[in-house]
Structure 1
Amino acid sequence: MKQLIQEIIDLLRDKLPGLDESLNPPATKEELRKTEEVMGVTLPSELRDFYLLHNGEKSEGPGLFFGLRFLSLTEMLEEWRIWADLEEEYAEEGDHYSVPANWIKERYINRYWVPISKDGGGNNLGIDLDPDENGVRGQVINFGRDEHVKYVIARNFNSLLEFIRDTIQKGEYSVQEDEEEGFRYWSYGREEEVHFFDVLRKLELPVLEPFGRVTGLDETEAWFSGLSQEWQERIQAIGDTPTDFLLAKRLFFIREGLTDIAPLAQCKELRELVLSGNEIRYVEALSGCQHLKQLYLVNNPVSDLQPLARLEQLQELNIAGTAVTDLTPLRSLAKLKKVDAGNTAIRDFSSLKPVRSLRVLKVSGPDREQLRSLAELTQLQELTLSGLDQLNEDDLTILEQLVNLRKLELEGAHLPHLAFLQKYRYLKELSMKDSSVEDISALARLERLQVLELSNCPEIGNLEELAHSVSLKQVAASFQQFALLKNCFNRKIDFSKMIGRMTEEESAIWRDYLNQDWS
């Protein structure tokens, strides 16, 4: 380890002489022990050895990791605490992809990702101590606010340093000088300053031991030349080369008149695919997209979902406005979490019952028979029902079995009361749109209801009874409903989201309420 860092320093001495002086003195074994104790981890031996040589890099340093500065143990702990404090609430926020698939757990935050560097924009170079099923403990990864795609950059910290040394030897780097501040820094690549994370998708990763490309150059060119001119132009618009298309993680083809999607069969790295508003009838080409997580087929005439039965990583599927009538092919998708089946002719939703991971479902215009099949999906936590004009209170009572619901959205419902919600012990959010309720007082008895949204719902009876709720925190409604409620509660309610227009006088009243001090 000592020899390796010395080689890097010596190779950069002429062009980046400040690197040597920027590296801090060694950390002590006690400092390492305390850091590990706070984080509840044991750092990989090679990283421990490096900290026993240099406890990070000075703030004005040129950035050991291609311009990204090496963090001291104190800085590492500070950065780690920021993420750890946010983990419980935001760990699953957004969409995140691992490259290779199943190497990095696809999350926004993981307290077992140890930051060893930061870019100042909320992103980190880190050591992964909690890899996914195919990963290696101690692998070097990128993560952070902007890093939706996470790459295994190196299999371990030592390999990262070896890659840095080899890159310098090949001259694949450039040095820049900040004339105002009077210091030098460097970056990967010969020609211009570039953020190291921005080049990850073009590197052969993991460094030193990369996985092979999808196909060789000759094979790729032969494949590309055999495509229609329309597809060639489409692919050229996506990246510099056809390989960029083949390695793409996200592809969006919206309202392009697509009928043939055969070229997508070669996109083995796809994680998110949006094909909304086309003329696609057949999706056999997608059966080979084994890592696909999100698929949008909105408003296409596709009817057969059987080719999707092999997509074991699929988590979100939007088939709204399609010709699909049978959901049976989805029953084996163990990771499927979200399905939008709005505006379809699907009669039976019970085929989703074996999908224990299913949490979110959207359905429109259901009748009593369809509701009965929905009631079997007791694993649901979020349900959206639209087009409820023809249903009554007794019809919706069938859904009492969905006792795990956290969020419910009702559109076009006209009901005497909401007593059927009493069984929803975990319900936290209720949204109603274009609906009416003669007596809404049942909501006051829901002990966990926190958020209520009334969009274009002028006919809501006994609204003031909501003041008896012990859990309600946020109400989004019209000004008239706000005016009725604002003085009913003995605590401040969040009315920051107002639905519909307000006059200047009404807006002033609303702002006065928001600015009140309730301490």
Structure 2
Amino acid sequence: MKALLNEIIEHLKDTLPNLAAFFNPPATQEELRKAEEELGFSLPAEVRELYLIHNGEREGGPGLFFGLPFLSVEEMMAEWKIWVGLEEEYAFMGEHDSVPARWIKERYINRYWLPISRDWGGNHLGIDMDPDEFGQAGQVINFGRDEEVKYVIARSVTDLLRFIRDTAKQGNFSIHQEEDSLYWSFGREDNLHFLDAIRKLDLPVLDPVWEESAVKDAEGWLAGLDSVWRDRVLQRSGSAEAFLRAKRLLFINEGLTNIVPLGDCKEVRELVLSANEIRSIEPLRGCTQLKRLYLGKNPVSDLRPLQKLQHLRMLYVADTAVEDLSPLENLSSLQELRFPRAPIRDYSPLRQMPGLRAVEVSQPDREQLHILFGLPRIEKLTIAGLRDVTAKDLGQLGSLPNLRELELEDVCLENLAFLHNCRQLKQVKLVHSTVNDISALSRLESLTTLELNGCPDVGDVEELSRSTSLRKIAASYQQFSLLKDRFDRKIDFSTMTGNMTDEEKEIWYRYLRE
């Protein structure tokens, strides 16, 4: 490890002569012991060795990791504590992908990701001590506020330092001056943020894993497309190779009928095809890494091409001609299925989807509700409209022991008493709905968030002030005005629905400032 650092310094001595001067003295064994005690796990031997040579680098240095600083033990622990403090509430917020697939656990926060560098924008290089099934403990990854796609950058810190040494030796970097600070970045041409550079590298560095590709000659593949698709590929990605390796592709309201070229996009994780004229999704059989698929507002009817997509987690088929959900029965990874305004009458295939956690439907009848309320793993349920349903039927919602989020749209209800057994319910959203008596929400002990969007005809709103758990309410100004002074604590009204006059905005701003 020490030899590697010395080689990096030697190769950069003419262009970054101050690199060595910015390294801190070694960390002590006691500092590392205290850090491990607080972390609850041992540092990899190579990470310990690195810190016993240098305890990070001083602020304002050139940044060991291509301009990104090597954090001291104290800085590493400070960053780690911030993330741990947010983990309980936000660990699974958003959508996250692992490259390669199943090497990194796909979540927003993991206390076993140890930040060894930062970019001052909430993003990090980190050591992954809790890899997914194909990864290995100690692998170097990116994570943070903006890092939805997480890459295994190197299989170890040693490999990362070897890559830095090799890059320095080859001169594949550029030097930048900013006031009194001199730093470097990866690549000869641009001031490229290293967390952006990794997206174009063959990873992990030194020992890349090549994901399956159906195309050996990207330029030949491009030449074989019709002129419309050629233009589309170049407009989206700049080159055929970049298009074929893209992780996210969007084609919204472009009049698409033929999607054959997409079948060669083996690495795509998210595909948005909304509002086109697509009838056949047969080419999608080839998108073997696909996780999120949006097919809304297309005349597609047959979902059988998706039967083998074992990574598919989210499917949106609203406003389509889909009638049959049975092709999805064996997709064990499918967690979210949204099919409002699709002509699906038989909900029974939902019972064969053990991973299902979120469902969106429209106009369900009594029998369909019975099936929905018999899916014990459901955590989020969205219902747009109701058909021939009684309060007794809705009372079965209480049979969903894990229900955390409920959204009701375009419904007309006497009250919400049917929610009294939903003891885990944390969020309720009402959209363009009428409820004569909303007071039942005040008795839900786990409810923290309520949204009333386009719901002027909601009665007994002031009764919400009896809630001991509500922390955030999104509502119209009129509803805000009714509630703002009734609680024994300040409620987060930072999101308003509908319009406000200038005078109303001033009152609202004053409340927020307070």
TM-score relative to the length of structure 1: 0.93
Distance 1:101 1:13 in 2: 39
Whole-Å separation in 2 of the counterparts to 1:499 and 1:216:
48
Which residue pairs with 2:342 in the alignment?
344
Q: Distance in 2 between matches of 1:449 and 1:156?
A: 44
Amino acid at match of 2:371: S
* Aligned: 1:293 with 2:286: no
Deviations 1:292-322, CA, capped at 9 Å, x for gaps? 1111001111111122121211111111011
Cα pair distance change 1:493/1:80, threshold 3 Å: closer
Tell me the CA shift for residue 444 of structure 1: 3.1
Q: 1:164 to 1:462 in 2, by over 3 A?
A: closer
Distance apart, 1:400 and its partner CA: 4.1
Residue by residue over 1:479-498, the C-alpha shift from the partner in whole angstroms, topping out at 9 and shown as x without a partner, is 44444444544444444444
**Aligned with 2:399 (options 389, 398, 401):** 401
Please give the alpha-carbon distance, in whole angstroms, between the structure 1 residues aligned to 2:509 and 2:26: 56
Q: Deviations over 1:156-211 (max 9, x none)?
A: 11111111111122221122223x31x42111111232111211122121111112
> Alignment partner of 1:184: what SS?
strand
Deviation at 1:508, TM superposition (A): 5.2
Structure 2 CA distance, aligned partners of 1:268 and 1:93? 26
Q: For this pair of structures, how many residues does the alignment match?
A: 514
- Aligned identity (percent) is 56
Q: Which amino acid aligns with 1:454?
A: L
- Amino acid across the alignment from 1:295: L
Give 1:474 shift.
Answer: 3.5
Q: Deviations over 1:74-129 (max 9, x none)?
A: 11111211212111111112221111111111111111111111122211111111
- In the TM superposition, what are the counterparts of 1:65-76 in structure 2 within 5 Å? 65-76=65-76
CA contact (8 A) 1:389 1:412 kept: no
Which whole-Å CA distance do the structure 2 matches of 1:5 and 1:497 have between them?
50
Verify the 8 A CA contact 1:214 1:246 in the aligned structure 2: no
Asked if the contact 2:213–2:266 (Cα under 8 Å) also holds between the matched residues in 1, the reply is no
Determine the C-alpha separation between the residues in 1 that align with 2:445 and 2:39: 36
After TM superposition, give the deviation of residue 251 of structure 1 in Å: 0.3
Secondary structure, aligned partner of 2:174: strand
User: CA separation in 1, counterparts of 2:507 and 2:68?
Assistant: 50
What are the residue-to-residue correspondences of 1:224-373 with 2, within 5 Å?
224-373=222-371
User: Which residue pairs with 1:129 in the alignment?
Assistant: 129
Quick one: distance in 2 between partners of 1:109 and 1:248?
24
Contact persistence 2:100–2:211 (CA under 8 A): no
User: Structure 1: how far apart are the matches of 2:166 and 2:507?
Assistant: 66
Structure 1 range deviating more: 439-448 or 121-130: 439-448
Contact in 2 for aligned 1:293/1:315 (Cα 8 Å): yes
The reply on whether 1:38 has 2:34 as its aligned counterpart is no
**Corresponding residue number in structure 2 for 1:52:** 52
State the shift of 1:248 in Å.
0.4
Q: RMSD across aligned C-alpha pairs, in angstroms? A: 2.3
1:116 has 2:113 as partner: no
- Deviations 1:362-385 (Å, cap 9, x if unpaired)? 111222232222222222121111
Residue aligned with 1:210, SS: coil
Pairwise CA distance, 1:344: 0.6
SS in 2 for 1:208: coil
Give the Å deviation of 1:327. 1.2
**Take 2:438 and 2:416, find their aligned partners in 1: how far apart are those partners?**
6
Residues of 1 paired with 2:98 and 2:279: CA distance? 30
* SS of corresponding position for 1:52: helix
User: How far apart in 2 are the matches of 1:343 and 1:33?
Assistant: 59
Distance 2:461 2:153 in 1: 56
Distance 1:440-1:76 versus aligned 2 partners, 3 A rule = closer
SS in structure 2 at match of 1:423: coil
Q: What CA distance in whole angstroms lies between the structure 1 residues aligned with 2:436 and 2:510?
A: 30
Unmatched 5+ stretches in structure 2 = none
CA contact (8 A) 1:214 1:247 kept: no
Match of 1:470 among 449, 468, 484: 468
Match of 1:448 in 2: 446
SS of corresponding position for 2:107: coil
The 8 Å contact of residues 233 and 240 in structure 2, kept in 1 or not, is answered as yes
Deviations 1:14-38 (A, max 9, x none): 1211112122222222222222221
1:79-118, aligned counterparts within 5 Å? Answer: 79-118=79-118
Give the Cα separation in 2 of the matches to 1:185 and 1:273.
38
- Larger CA deviation: 101-110 vs 414-423: 414-423
* Number of the residue aligned with 1:176: 176
Q: How far, CA to CA, are the matches of 1:222 and 1:499 in structure 2?
A: 52
Letter in 2 for 1:187: S
Structure 1 residues 119, 458: CA separation in 2 closer, same or farther (over 3 Å shift)?
A: closer
Contact 2:102 2:134 (8 Å CA) reproduced: yes
Distance 1:217 1:356, change over 3 A: closer
Q: Which runs of 5+ in 1 are unaligned?
A: none
Deviations 1:395-422 (A, max 9, x none): 4335443343222122222222322212
- State whether structure 2 residue 435 is matched by structure 1 residue 437: yes
User: In structure 1, how many angstroms separate the alpha carbons of the residues matched to 2:202 and 2:176?
Assistant: 25
Shift of 1:277: 0.6
What is the Cα deviation at residue 507 of structure 1?
A: 4.7
> Which whole-Å CA distance do the structure 2 matches of 1:384 and 1:192 have between them?
46
